[in-house]
Structure 1
Amino acid sequence: MKYRPFIYSLSLFSIAFVACQSVTNHQETAPKGNKDSTKNYEFTAQPVWADEFDNPGLPDTSKWSYDVGSQHNGWGNQELQYYTEADPKNVEVKDGHLYIHALPEQKEGLDYTSARLVSKGKGDFLYGRFEVRAKVPAGKGTWPAVWMLPTDWTYGGWPNSGEIDILEHVGYDPDVVHISVHTKDYHHSIGTQKTAFRKIENAREQFHLYRIDWTPDYIKGFVDDQELFSFANEGSGFKAWPFDQKFHWLINLAVGGFWGGAEGVDREAFPATFTVDYVRVYDLVK
């Protein structure tokens, strides 16, 4: 996909190329090179950065900013929402959770509003363990995601500088969650994206723990501490492995789009809410 300054990718139609298993998972893994994908790294016992979402009101401005706008700015994946900034109708912290609400309301020519939080400049990381405990929304047309993008785009625009998707979900496939990475050599636009998914029958009703372990040798993904995904550093350069630079968090709830709206959008499913219990970062012990 051509680089765009707002919504860069997420896992699109490449998901269609992998066959879902009912209770386990499927993954496509980059071939191993001269890096050790079996090395056991350790991480700090306590988070070095976190948001427990314990303070009611709007999200902590020392940790989060907002991406604001819509596809009418030339952004993204033909999604139907306008992302607002610090609007309590769309984003709030209460009862120890972060809530992102996608609402069926008109704004700037779009039929929905929502929110997208970013930690860029406030939480930027090179390697570590990244955890999010979350509950995805119900409803056809919802597309929640917790993911990471490069802070400095060292190797150029998307997909050259990479992307890490810790959690993705689309409402028309309600029991399936996804973990993916994107690089210049491995992305959906050329049919080589590295992705994995797992069926979780209560992903909408209960919280689950989603995690990636990012090291110099590999990125591994987990759901409820069960390994789902592994992507090895081949040692062949940035086209396969741009993950030697700082990345930051993004948390959002999109509506429709190439993937989220592939089977239509059920307007009766909105308002829809994406709920996050916490996000935590543990440093890599070198």
Structure 2
Amino acid sequence: MTKRHTGLALALVLAASLSGCGSHPAGTPAAAAAETPFWRAEFDGSAGTRPAEESWNTETGNREAEGWGNNELQYYTQDAANSALDGAGHLLLSARPVSAGSELPCWTQDFCSWTSARLTTEGKVALTRGRVEVRAKLPTGTGLLPAIWMLGDNGRRWPGQGEIDICEVVGAEPRTVYGTAHGPTYFNENGLGGSASLPADASRAFHTYAVDKEPRRITWSVDGKPYFTLTPSKLPSPRDWVFEQDMHLLLNVAVGGDWPGPPDASTPVPATMEVDYVRFYGEGRG
């Protein structure tokens, strides 16, 4: 399914500290970075323009999506106030308190207290094998959970469809980036992944968040520095590896829920994810 399942106390292995078409052979991370992307989104356009519909879907709602699987407080909309280009080459996804008098149905309460955005490339763009890079600045603050992630296109229900979280930054840990994989027998608090430390809050600067999705190997990196690699040998029995398939991209800013907890007076308004570009290298659909 297309809900976001968190409530995570991640089982981590810690690490210290678009618009073209075609396909190219997948290679090593270094080789992939030197290739021409087979699909890219650079977000050039006038301020207030919505992202291109030939590549992006905008998901909406909350109650019918059961709080997006995490009892979240945001109602996703198609409004430009929540997702639009800024006129300077960026896509903005903004979480905002609802306007006075709004009655947007929520799963955990009568009406949602926040609006936000959730964009996907499902059915339009997908990575089979290769590399996905997203250069972005992520909002930080109490109760926020911005995410850049992927879901499988195998038609199964979650978690059987497979999920790769390219990066998540939980509000109370503004300098920590989490990368995680979820599958049939390793999901939610049993997700498998790692973390990396940033030199400053994720909201202070752009970073390049990437995953190299190779046959039977997934490697997470930030700014070209790998911090975790997953192979079938690290999976629990029966080692049900589900990542040899097309996977589409999702971008969203969640508010509240089981993980990371509720926002408060210190939560920034608006809380905005700024995406400079998305690039897919290797083989896929775009």
Please give the range of the TM-score, normalised by the shorter of the 2 chains: 0.7 to 0.9
Give the 3 Å change call, closer, same or farther, for CA 73–164 of structure 1 in structure 2. closer
Superposition pairs of residues 103-142 of structure 1, within 5 angstroms: 103-105=96-98, 106=102, 107-108=104-105, 109-142=111-144
Relative to structure 1, is the Cα distance of residues 235 and 113 closer, same or farther in structure 2, using a 3 angstrom cutoff?
Answer: closer
Aligned to 2:282: 283
Distance 1:73 1:248 in 2: 19
Deviation at 1:172, TM superposition (A): 1.2
Name the aligned partner's letter for residue 9 of structure 1. H
- Mind listing any 5+ residue stretches in structure 2 that lack a counterpart? 18-26, 106-110
Aligned in 2, Cα 1:70/1:182: closer, same or farther, shift over 3 Å? same
Residue 205 (structure 2) aligns with: 206
Partner of residue 220, structure 1: 219
CA distance in 1: counterparts of 2:121 and 2:165, whole angstroms: 15
Aligned partner of 1:258: which letter? D
Q: Return the alpha-carbon distance in structure 2 between the equivalents of residues 235 and 259 of structure 1.
A: 25
- Aligned-partner residue type, residue 66 of structure 1: T
The one-letter code sitting in structure 2 at the alignment partner of 1:13 is L
With normalisation by structure 2, the TM-score equals 0.82
Structure 1, unpaired ranges of 5+: 25-38
Residue in structure 2 matched with residue 240 of structure 1 by the alignment:
240
Equivalent residue letter for 1:216: P
- Report the AA paired with residue 14 of structure 1: A
Distance in 2 (CA, whole Å) between partners of 1:71 and 1:178 is 27
Percent of aligned positions that are identical: 36
| 1:13 aligned counterpart, secondary structure | coil
Structure 2: distance between partners of 1:19 and 1:194: 8
CA contact (8 A) 1:137 1:204 kept: yes
2:132 is matched by which residue type in structure 1?
A: F
* TM-score, reference length from structure 1: 0.82
CA contact (8 A) 1:234 1:241 kept: no
Partner of 1:98: 91
Measure how far apart 1:257 and its partner are. 1.2
Match of 2:8 in 1: 13
- Does residue 180 of the first structure (1) align with residue 172 of the second (2)? no
Tell me how far apart the structure 2 counterparts of residues 90 and 8 of structure 1 sit (CA, whole Å): 18
* Displacement of 1:128: 1.4
* 1:126/1:247 contact within 8 Å kept: yes
CA distance in 2: counterparts of 1:138 and 1:202, whole angstroms: 7
Aligned twin of 1:28? none
How many residue pairs were aligned?
257
Deviation at 1:258, TM superposition (A): 1.3
Q: Residue 5 of structure 2: SS of its match in structure 1?
A: coil
Q: Is 1:81 matched up with 2:74?
A: yes
Superposed displacement of residue 20, structure 1: 6.5
Distance 1:250 1:40 in 2: 24
Decide whether the 8 Å contact of 1:235 with 1:241 is kept in 2. no
Q: Which amino acid aligns with 1:82?
A: Y
- Residue 49 of structure 1 corresponds to which residue in structure 2? 39
Matched residue type, 2:95: A
Give the letter aligned to residue 133 of structure 2.
E
1:215–1:284 CA contact under 8 A, matched in 2: no
Q: Report deviation, 1:40.
A: 4.5
2:193 corresponds to:
195
Secondary structure of 2:259's match?
A: helix
1:231-266 CA-to-partner distances (Å, cap 9, x unmatched) read 0134999952101111100000000111121xx312
